[in-house]
Protein backbone atom coordinates (compact mmCIF):
# COMPACT_ATOMS: atom_id res chain seq x y z
CA UNK A 1 0.00 0.00 0.00
CA UNK A 2 2.85 2.38 0.76
CA UNK A 3 4.25 1.99 -2.74
CA UNK A 4 0.79 2.47 -4.26
CA UNK A 5 0.22 5.70 -2.34
CA UNK A 6 3.65 7.03 -3.25
CA UNK A 7 2.94 6.22 -6.91
CA UNK A 8 -0.41 8.02 -6.78
CA UNK A 9 1.15 11.06 -5.12
CA UNK A 10 4.14 11.22 -7.42
CA UNK A 11 2.06 10.66 -10.53
CA UNK A 12 -0.45 13.36 -9.62
CA UNK A 13 2.39 15.74 -8.76
CA UNK A 14 3.97 15.14 -12.16
CA UNK A 15 0.60 15.71 -13.83
CA UNK A 16 0.21 19.09 -12.12
CA UNK A 17 3.78 20.07 -12.92
CA UNK A 18 2.95 19.52 -16.58
CA UNK A 19 -0.39 21.36 -16.38
CA UNK A 20 0.88 24.40 -14.50
CA UNK A 21 4.39 24.48 -15.95
CA UNK A 22 3.24 24.28 -19.56
CA UNK A 23 0.60 26.92 -18.83
CA UNK A 24 3.23 29.28 -17.48
CA UNK A 25 5.65 28.61 -20.33
CA UNK A 26 2.93 28.77 -22.97
CA UNK A 27 1.57 32.08 -21.70
CA UNK A 28 5.08 33.54 -21.49
CA UNK A 29 6.00 32.60 -25.07
CA UNK A 30 2.63 33.11 -26.77
CA UNK A 31 2.76 36.92 -26.47
CA UNK A 32 -0.90 37.16 -25.49
CA UNK A 33 -2.17 34.50 -27.92
CA UNK A 34 -4.31 32.26 -25.70
CA UNK A 35 -4.79 29.69 -28.46
CA UNK A 36 -1.07 28.99 -28.64
CA UNK A 37 -0.81 28.87 -24.85
CA UNK A 38 -3.70 26.39 -24.69
CA UNK A 39 -2.15 24.24 -27.41
CA UNK A 40 1.11 24.05 -25.46
CA UNK A 41 -0.86 23.27 -22.29
CA UNK A 42 -2.80 20.47 -23.99
CA UNK A 43 0.17 18.79 -25.66
CA UNK A 44 2.32 18.82 -22.52
CA UNK A 45 -0.51 17.42 -20.39
CA UNK A 46 -1.27 14.64 -22.88
CA UNK A 47 2.39 13.67 -23.09
CA UNK A 48 2.74 13.54 -19.32
CA UNK A 49 -0.42 11.43 -18.94
CA UNK A 50 0.96 8.84 -21.34
CA UNK A 51 4.22 8.67 -19.38
CA UNK A 52 2.83 8.43 -15.86
CA UNK A 53 0.09 5.93 -16.73
CA UNK A 54 2.56 3.70 -18.57
CA UNK A 55 5.24 3.85 -15.88
CA UNK A 56 3.13 3.86 -12.70
CA UNK A 57 0.16 1.82 -13.88
CA UNK A 58 1.72 -1.48 -12.78
CA UNK A 59 2.35 -0.04 -9.29
CA UNK A 60 -0.93 1.62 -8.28
CA UNK A 61 -3.26 1.24 -11.24
CA UNK A 62 -2.49 4.84 -12.26
CA UNK A 63 -5.68 6.51 -11.04
CA UNK A 64 -4.26 10.01 -10.36
CA UNK A 65 -7.90 11.12 -10.18
CA UNK A 66 -10.50 10.78 -7.40
CA UNK A 67 -13.19 10.24 -10.04
CA UNK A 68 -11.37 7.17 -11.33
CA UNK A 69 -10.83 5.94 -7.77
CA UNK A 70 -14.52 6.42 -7.01
CA UNK A 71 -15.43 4.37 -10.10
CA UNK A 72 -13.28 1.48 -8.86
CA UNK A 73 -14.83 1.81 -5.40
CA UNK A 74 -18.39 1.78 -6.74
CA UNK A 75 -17.51 -1.24 -8.86
CA UNK A 76 -16.30 -3.12 -5.79
CA UNK A 77 -12.70 -3.37 -6.99
CA UNK A 78 -11.13 -1.51 -4.06
CA UNK A 79 -12.12 -0.91 -0.43
CA UNK A 80 -13.35 2.39 0.99
CA UNK A 81 -10.18 2.63 3.09
CA UNK A 82 -7.98 2.24 0.02
CA UNK A 83 -10.06 4.73 -1.93
CA UNK A 84 -9.76 7.37 0.81
CA UNK A 85 -6.01 6.84 1.01
CA UNK A 86 -5.70 7.14 -2.77
CA UNK A 87 -7.70 10.37 -2.86
CA UNK A 88 -5.63 11.88 -0.05
CA UNK A 89 -2.40 10.98 -1.89
CA UNK A 90 -3.75 12.47 -5.11
CA UNK A 91 -4.74 15.78 -3.50
CA UNK A 92 -1.45 16.13 -1.63
CA UNK A 93 0.53 15.16 -4.72
CA UNK A 94 -1.38 17.69 -6.81
CA UNK A 95 -0.58 20.53 -4.43
CA UNK A 96 3.09 19.54 -4.32
CA UNK A 97 3.16 19.53 -8.11
CA UNK A 98 1.70 23.05 -8.26
CA UNK A 99 4.25 24.36 -5.79
CA UNK A 100 7.08 22.62 -7.66
CA UNK A 101 6.02 24.28 -10.92
CA UNK A 102 5.96 27.68 -9.23
CA UNK A 103 9.45 27.11 -7.80
CA UNK A 104 10.75 26.00 -11.20
CA UNK A 105 9.61 29.27 -12.81
CA UNK A 106 10.76 31.41 -9.86
CA UNK A 107 7.22 32.41 -8.88
CA UNK A 108 5.80 32.79 -5.38
CA UNK A 109 5.21 29.25 -4.11
CA UNK A 110 1.93 29.96 -2.32
CA UNK A 111 -0.72 31.53 -4.54
CA UNK A 112 -4.49 31.67 -4.90
CA UNK A 113 -5.94 31.81 -8.39
CA UNK A 114 -7.82 34.89 -9.58
CA UNK A 115 -9.04 33.25 -12.81
CA UNK A 116 -12.73 34.12 -12.72
CA UNK A 117 -14.16 32.86 -16.02
CA UNK A 118 -14.48 29.17 -15.08
CA UNK A 119 -18.03 29.21 -13.73
CA UNK A 120 -21.65 29.04 -14.83
CA UNK A 121 -24.00 26.31 -16.10
CA UNK A 122 -22.16 25.88 -19.41
CA UNK A 123 -18.83 25.31 -17.63
CA UNK A 124 -20.41 22.86 -15.16
CA UNK A 125 -22.13 20.92 -17.93
CA UNK A 126 -18.81 20.87 -19.77
CA UNK A 127 -17.19 19.23 -16.74
CA UNK A 128 -19.93 16.61 -16.59
CA UNK A 129 -19.32 15.70 -20.23
CA UNK A 130 -15.54 15.89 -19.90
CA UNK A 131 -15.54 13.52 -16.91
CA UNK A 132 -17.99 11.14 -18.55
CA UNK A 133 -15.78 11.04 -21.63
CA UNK A 134 -12.65 10.35 -19.63
CA UNK A 135 -14.27 7.51 -17.69
CA UNK A 136 -15.68 6.09 -20.92
CA UNK A 137 -12.19 6.06 -22.42
CA UNK A 138 -10.57 4.47 -19.34
CA UNK A 139 -13.08 1.74 -18.60
CA UNK A 140 -13.86 1.08 -22.22
CA UNK A 141 -10.15 0.74 -22.84
CA UNK A 142 -9.72 -1.64 -19.90
CA UNK A 143 -12.48 -3.80 -21.33
CA UNK A 144 -11.36 -3.86 -24.94
CA UNK A 145 -7.60 -3.26 -25.00
CA UNK A 146 -5.99 -2.52 -21.66
CA UNK A 147 -2.49 -1.94 -23.03
CA UNK A 148 -3.83 1.00 -25.05
CA UNK A 149 -5.24 2.90 -22.04
CA UNK A 150 -2.23 5.27 -21.66
CA UNK A 151 -2.53 6.29 -25.31
CA UNK A 152 -6.32 6.57 -25.16
CA UNK A 153 -6.27 8.81 -22.09
CA UNK A 154 -3.47 11.00 -23.48
CA UNK A 155 -5.29 11.47 -26.77
CA UNK A 156 -8.64 12.13 -25.12
CA UNK A 157 -7.36 14.80 -22.72
CA UNK A 158 -5.28 16.50 -25.41
CA UNK A 159 -8.39 16.76 -27.57
CA UNK A 160 -10.76 17.58 -24.72
CA UNK A 161 -8.71 20.66 -23.83
CA UNK A 162 -10.06 22.00 -27.12
CA UNK A 163 -13.55 20.59 -27.55
CA UNK A 164 -14.85 21.27 -24.02
CA UNK A 165 -15.75 24.75 -22.79
CA UNK A 166 -14.01 24.16 -19.46
CA UNK A 167 -10.80 22.78 -21.05
CA UNK A 168 -11.60 19.42 -19.44
CA UNK A 169 -10.39 19.40 -15.84
CA UNK A 170 -12.30 16.10 -15.32
CA UNK A 171 -10.40 15.46 -12.07
CA UNK A 172 -11.26 16.72 -8.55
CA UNK A 173 -7.64 16.56 -7.35
CA UNK A 174 -6.42 18.54 -10.35
CA UNK A 175 -9.25 21.03 -9.89
CA UNK A 176 -8.39 21.62 -6.24
CA UNK A 177 -4.67 21.96 -6.96
CA UNK A 178 -5.23 24.45 -9.79
CA UNK A 179 -7.03 26.72 -7.34
CA UNK A 180 -3.66 27.38 -5.76
CA UNK A 181 -1.98 28.73 -8.90
CA UNK A 182 -2.62 32.26 -10.14
CA UNK A 183 -1.36 31.37 -13.61
CA UNK A 184 -2.80 30.49 -17.02
CA UNK A 185 -4.11 27.12 -15.79
CA UNK A 186 -5.65 28.36 -12.54
CA UNK A 187 -9.24 28.35 -11.32
CA UNK A 188 -10.68 30.72 -8.72
CA UNK A 189 -11.07 28.74 -5.44
CA UNK A 190 -14.69 29.83 -5.07
CA UNK A 191 -15.49 28.08 -8.34
CA UNK A 192 -13.88 24.77 -7.35
CA UNK A 193 -16.85 23.22 -5.45
CA UNK A 194 -19.21 23.41 -8.44
CA UNK A 195 -16.58 21.84 -10.72
CA UNK A 196 -15.99 19.00 -8.24
CA UNK A 197 -19.71 18.39 -7.79
CA UNK A 198 -20.14 18.21 -11.58
CA UNK A 199 -17.27 15.72 -11.81
CA UNK A 200 -18.71 13.53 -9.04
CA UNK A 201 -22.20 13.60 -10.57
CA UNK A 202 -20.65 12.45 -13.84
CA UNK A 203 -18.81 9.66 -12.03
CA UNK A 204 -21.96 8.30 -10.39
CA UNK A 205 -23.79 8.46 -13.69
CA UNK A 206 -20.87 6.79 -15.44
CA UNK A 207 -20.93 3.93 -12.94
CA UNK A 208 -24.59 3.30 -13.62
CA UNK A 209 -24.10 3.61 -17.36
CA UNK A 210 -20.86 1.66 -17.79
CA UNK A 211 -21.00 -0.94 -14.96
CA UNK A 212 -22.65 -3.62 -17.08
CA UNK A 213 -21.59 -2.27 -20.45
CA UNK A 214 -17.90 -2.59 -19.61
CA UNK A 215 -18.16 -5.35 -16.99
CA UNK A 216 -14.97 -7.33 -16.40
Residue numbers of the domain that contains 20: 2-210
pLDDT value, residue 180: 98
Q: How confident is the model at residue 212 (pLDDT cuts 50, 70, 90)?
A: confident
Q: Considering the chain, what is the average pLDDT of its residues?
A: 96
- Cα–chain center distance at 204: 17
216: in domain:
no
For the CA atoms of the chain, what is the radius of gyration?
16
Residues 55 and 50: their CA atoms lie apart, in Å, by: 9
Question: Dihedrals φ, ψ of 36, to 5°?
Answer: -65, -40
Whether 150 contacts 35, CB under 8 Å = no
Residue 114 lies in a domain: yes
pLDDT score recorded for residue 205: 95
CB–CB of 45/17 below 8 Å? no
Whether the Cβ atoms of residue 153 and residue 67 lie closer than 8 Å to each other: no
Question: For residue 66, what is the domain's CATH number?
Answer: 1.20.1080.10
Q: For the residues 200-215, what does the mean pLDDT come to?
A: 87
Domain count, the chain: 1
Amino acid sequence: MRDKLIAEGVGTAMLLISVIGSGIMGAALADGNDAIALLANAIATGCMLYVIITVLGPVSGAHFNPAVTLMFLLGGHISARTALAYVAAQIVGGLIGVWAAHAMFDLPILQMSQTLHRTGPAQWFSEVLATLGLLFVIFGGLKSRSEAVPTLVALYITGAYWFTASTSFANPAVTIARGFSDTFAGIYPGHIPAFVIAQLIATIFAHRLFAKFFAR
